[in-house]
């Protein structure tokens, strides 16, 4: 899973405004894959952005992927989860910069956690990725390990985080 630090967000911590429309998620389709590869280049330029071929492999493997579309129908958010018998792993999550801070990332992560069911969920995140760390902590993830030089070519370190097994509906 690749990650990049983002700018401080002035409205971080504020509740979603009542006039904001609900975040609607859809399953990732094969025709969306080109858009995901473009977003990866934008969001993870120094951390081996995933290619269209990699996303095709993800879908072919049966992993659970969701996307969010903007008002024009273009994909501006995506997230994926792999599931084993007892564990699940967040594969990747990203939101186009102009759509960040509007609740899309949280909605997608909660969708993945719902799909994880009663499994332990693992992920890796760059140690300097404060927005992602804040999101993960708020969804019940805690640090369980440090992987040095995990990202390439940046050489950045990653934290491994875990969300223990819990019943549905206990995301926050």
Ligand X SMILES: CC(C)(COP(=O)(O)OP(=O)(O)OC[C@H]1O[C@@H](n2cnc3c(N)ncnc32)[C@H](O)[C@@H]1OP(=O)(O)O)[C@@H](O)C(=O)NCCC(=O)NCCS
Closest distance to ligand X from the beta carbon of 114 (Å): 15
Site string for ligand X, 89-118 (x = CB under 6 A): ----xxx----xxxxxxx------------
**Part of the chain binding ligand X (CB under 6 A), chosen from 27-35, 50-58, 113-121, 133-141:** 133-141
Q: Least Å distance between CB 24 and ligand X?
A: 14
4 binds ligand X (CB under 6 A): yes
Only one of the segments 28-36, 49-57, 113-121, 127-135 lies at the binding site for ligand X (rule: CB under 6 A); that segment is: 127-135
Contact between 131 and ligand X per CB under 6 A: yes
Which residues have a Cβ under 8 Å from the Cβ of 135 and sit 6 or more positions away? 105, 106, 109
| Structural tokens at position 31 | 């025709």
d(CA 169, CA 161): 20
Nearer CB in complex with ligand X: 118/128: 128
In the complex, minimum distance from the CB of residue 131 to ligand X, in angstroms, rounded to a whole number: 3
Contact status: 67 vs ligand X (CB under 6 A)? no
In the complex with ligand X, which residue's Cβ is closer, 75 or 85?
A: 75
Binding footprint of ligand X on the chain (CB under 6 A)? 1, 3-4, 6, 8-9, 12-13, 43, 93-95, 100-106, 125, 129-132, 134-135, 138
């Amino acid at each position: 899973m690749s990650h990049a630090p983002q700018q401080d967000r002035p409205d971080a911590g504020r509740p979603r405004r009542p006039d904001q429309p609900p975040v609607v998620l859809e399953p990732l389709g094969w025709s969306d894959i080109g858009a995901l590869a473009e977003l990866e280049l934008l969001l993870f330029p120094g951390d081996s952005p995933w290619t269209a071929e990699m996303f095709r492999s993800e879908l072919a493997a049966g992993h659970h992927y969701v996307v969010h579309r903007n008002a024009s129908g273009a994909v501006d958010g995506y997230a994926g989860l792999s599931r084993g018998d007892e564990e699940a792993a967040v594969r990747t999550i990203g939101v186009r910069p102009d759509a960040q801070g509007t609740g899309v990332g949280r909605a997608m992560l909660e969708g993945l956690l719902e799909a994880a069911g009663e499994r332990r969920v693992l992920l890796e995140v760059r140690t300097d990725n404060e927005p992602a760390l804040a999101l993960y902590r708020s969804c019940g993830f805690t640090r369980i390990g440090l992987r040095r030089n995990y990202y390439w070519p940046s050489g950045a370190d990653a934290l491994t985080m875990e969300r223990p097994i819990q019943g549905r509906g206990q995301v926050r």
